[in-house]
Amino acid sequence: MPLTDYAVRCTTRECPREASFKVASQWSDGLTAELKTYALCCYECVPARFAEAQGKQAACSLSPGETLAPPEVFALTSHGPQRVADPADSV
């Protein structure tokens, strides 16, 4: 199956750039774990979206047994999201 190149638009309102990062938290209910995505955004929008995600993560009410890690920044790559310590490293 050929890899299709598709552009994901930054989710910031009125931002015309392509999303190359994902802001997400590792969520788990003890049985399954998944990435809870807050935003897909371009490099310029990472700081704003990340701050927003931190607020959402803090405000998130969890059921007993559920865990939600602090938000992290992931670079969108053809191999899937890769965690990045500093978005500036992956541009």
Q: Does 45 bind Zn ion (CB under 5 A)?
A: yes
Q: Does 73 bind Zn ion (CB under 5 A)?
A: no
How many angstroms separate the CA atoms of 75 and 41, rounded? 10
Q: Does 15 bind Zn ion (CB under 5 A)?
A: yes
Q: How many CB atoms within 10 Å of residue 26?
A: 15
Radius of gyration of the chain (CA): 14
Please identify which residue in 23, 24, 39, 42 interacts with Zn ion, judged by CB under 5 A: 42
Q: Does 12 bind Zn ion (CB under 5 A)?
A: yes
Which residues of this protein are in contact with Zn ion, per CB under 5 A? 10, 12, 15, 17, 41-42, 45
